[in-house]
Structure 1
Amino acid sequence: MSPGTINSTPDAVDFLIEQHGRIRQLFLETAQASDVEERERKFFELRRLLAVHETAEEEIVHPRARREIGDGPAIVDARLEEEKKAKKQLAELEAIDIDSVEFEVKLDGLRRAVLAHAEHEESEEFTRLHQELDADALARMRSTVELAEAMAPTRPHPGVESATANALVGPFAAMMDRAKDMITKPRH
């Protein structure tokens, strides 16, 4: 399932929450994979979804939340700090043998951090965006989120957690990531 295949809602917030559900499922599937090849495929999908999802939030959702909700800047800054830490954890995880105990331990640490981050987003940011924006604005935001995801890097880039940084680094990083993905994509 690619990030854009969730089609049950035109609402950006609900779309992102559905992606959070898919991320939760991919963590479980990666951890429970029956063999190295399956774990590699699931981790590849998880890493890609995390990267494009966070980029879209950084480029589209967080700037809107900064403007639209009370305490927006403080809420977004806290989420960006969580995203930066998770990107570092994900980048470290990529360098570890996928069949090792260390991978399993670090994957679980990343899972806990990402799920706590998603919970904070849903309760502190997304719920409030739902309250502040009408259905048309949320539908337009979904289209913009999907466009951002289509052009987003597919690997973690710690330190690139703002709309400005994503605009400057994102296109080149996305091109390089997609080239790496073609070379390293799991076989099955």
Structure 2
Amino acid sequence: MAEQDVVDLLTAQHQQISTLLEQLRSGREDRQELFTELVRLLAVHESAEEEVVHPIAKRARFGAEEIVDARLDEENHAKRALAELYDLGVDHPDFASKIADLADAVADHAAHEEAEEFVLLRRQYSASQLEHLAGSVRAAEAVAPTRPHPHTGSSAAANLIAGPPLALFDRMRDAVRDWRSHS
């Protein structure tokens, strides 16, 4: 059986993100827990895409740079919206409308990524290369920040330089938060 490739990995994560957003929009009781998971998943997903996937996709063929740049712009908007939601908190009166806006933007972004950028990857790279990229994405996610940091930039270089210290800080905050919630 073949290993999961990068397109399948990221598409599965898009589905997880979509499910979390839908659950948040439904007004469930455990929305703080759902939102915390959404923030973590989106932050590590986007960081890994910016660090690994987008630079590779830009090399796919002529015109790929425009496609990737459009996705990076969408991701920057999503980071700012997610950071704003994080600051507001799930109990804020504007949370429901803002999470709905974010859900719509994320769905559009994922659809564009899957229809354009992922198609470029499948056309340009072999199955073994795409499987190897999945491993690179998993490695990047393991050391990625768990919160949005919209002011750090979206380039691979920015993620490589700022990502590890921010990830360490974020993971320490996560550990304290988890400890407090269980104490």
TM class, shorter-chain normalised? over 0.9
Residue in 1 aligned with 2:166?
A: 173
**Where do residues 16-165 of structure 1 align in structure 2 (5 Å cutoff)?**
16-35=10-29, 38-159=30-151, 160-165=153-158
Residue 133 (structure 1) shift: 0.9
1:126-169 superposed Cα distances (whole Å, 9 cap, x missing partner): 01111111110000000000000001000001132110000110
Rounded Cα–Cα distance in structure 2 between residues aligned with 1:181 and 1:21: 24
Write the distance in 2 (CA, Å) between the matches of 1:105 and 1:30: 11
The normalised TM-score by structure 1 is 0.90
Counterpart Cα distance in 1 of 2:139 and 2:145: 12
Cα distance in 2, alignment partners of residues 50 and 146 from structure 1: 14
Shift of residue 33, structure 1, vs aligned partner: 4.2
Query: Mind listing any 5+ residue stretches in structure 1 that lack a counterpart?
Result: 1-7
How far the C-alpha of 1:80 sits from its partner, in A, is 0.7
Deviations 1:82-106 (A, max 9, x none): 1111000000001113123301111
User: Counterpart amino acid of 2:171?
Assistant: R
The answer for unaligned runs of 5 or more in structure 2 is none
Q: Which residue of 2 aligns with 1:5?
A: none
**Identity %, equivalent residues:** 45
Partner of 1:95, secondary structure, is helix
Displacement of 1:180: 1.3
| Count of residue pairs brought into register by the alignment | 179
The 3-state SS of whatever aligns with 2:59 is helix
Q: CA RMSD in A?
A: 1.6
What TM-score, normalized by structure 2, do the two folds share? 0.93
Runs of 4+ in 1 over 4 A off after TM superposition: none
Could you list the per-position Cα deviations for residues 58-116 of structure 1 after superposition, in whole angstroms to 9, with x for gaps in the alignment? 01100001111331111111111111110000000011131233011111111111111
Q: State how far apart, in whole Å, the 1-side matches of 2:80 and 2:28 are.
A: 27
